[in-house]
Structure 1
Amino acid sequence: MPFAIRHDRAAHRFETRVDGVSCLLDYTLASGVMTITRTEVPAAVGGRGIAAALVQQALATARAEGWQVVPACSYAAAWVQRHPAYHDLLKP
């Protein structure tokens, strides 16, 4: 299921609404390094791949911007480990 994900650059956040429920991914950005600090998908809309879509969009943005990524959030870290196509973005 595709989700309409919005990137709020000023707030360092990716967000979408599903069935009226707000879902988000927060990050910090310093010296070209995106640190994903939190993904939040309430249980009411969980299990639909929303968190995965948020992480994938964040990583696509990082790639387009030339940023390295630190997945500090446990969900994002686990997702990246399962998707080797994004390992090149990881900050050594």
Structure 2
Amino acid sequence: MTTQFRDVAAARRFEQGFTDADGELRTVFADYEAQGNVRLILHVEADPHLRGAGAAGRFMQALVDHARAERLKLVPRCSYAVAWLQRHREYDDVLA
């Protein structure tokens, strides 16, 4: 099971839930700083029970889809976000 991607603006955090191998709902999140329509992605983290299962990659896919839909631009500062976006050049249009 996957929960819907959401922007928790009050906490300056994007998050999404994924079910781990034991059926428990766990979270992947990205902390961000907002500057107008730009989001600096400061840190991406997956619950340790989700690591290696592809949840962080699916989360990043949802994040860039959200950015496109909301006409946001992203500035990745987190090494994971930088690496993911470098591997997925089809999303260069969301980069500031």
Instruction: Check whether TM > 0.5.
Output: yes
Which residue does 1:3 correspond to in 2?
A: 2
* Partner SS for 1:3: coil
Q: Residues 13 and 82 of structure 1: is their aligned pair in 2 closer, same or farther, counting only changes over 3 Å?
A: same
Which residue does 1:51 correspond to in 2?
A: 56
Which residue does 2:44 correspond to in 1?
A: 39
What is the TM-score normalised by the length of structure 2? 0.79
Which residue does 1:29 correspond to in 2?
A: 34
What is the TM-score normalised by the length of structure 1? 0.81
RMSD of equivalent CA atoms: 1.8
Provide the C-alpha distance between the structure 2 equivalents of 1:15 and 1:88, rounded to a whole number of angstroms.
Answer: 22
What percent of counterpart residues are identical?
A: 37
Q: Give the 4+ runs in structure 1 shifted more than 3 A.
A: none
Q: Residues 16 and 68 of structure 1: is their aligned pair in 2 closer, same or farther, counting only changes over 3 Å?
A: closer
1:84 Cα deviation after fit: 1.2
Q: Residues 12 and 57 of structure 1: is their aligned pair in 2 closer, same or farther, counting only changes over 3 Å?
A: farther
1:6 Cα deviation after fit: 2.9
Provide structure 2 residue ranges, at least 5 long, that are not aligned to the other structure. none
Q: Output the amino acid matched with 1:88.
A: D
Provide structure 1 residue ranges, at least 5 long, that are not aligned to the other structure. none
Q: Residues 90 and 44 of structure 1: is their aligned pair in 2 closer, same or farther, counting only changes over 3 Å?
A: same
Provide the C-alpha distance between the structure 1 equivalents of 2:69 and 2:25, rounded to a whole number of angstroms.
Answer: 29
Which residue does 1:66 correspond to in 2?
A: 71
Asked if the contact 1:14/1:54 (under 8 Å) is kept, the reply is no
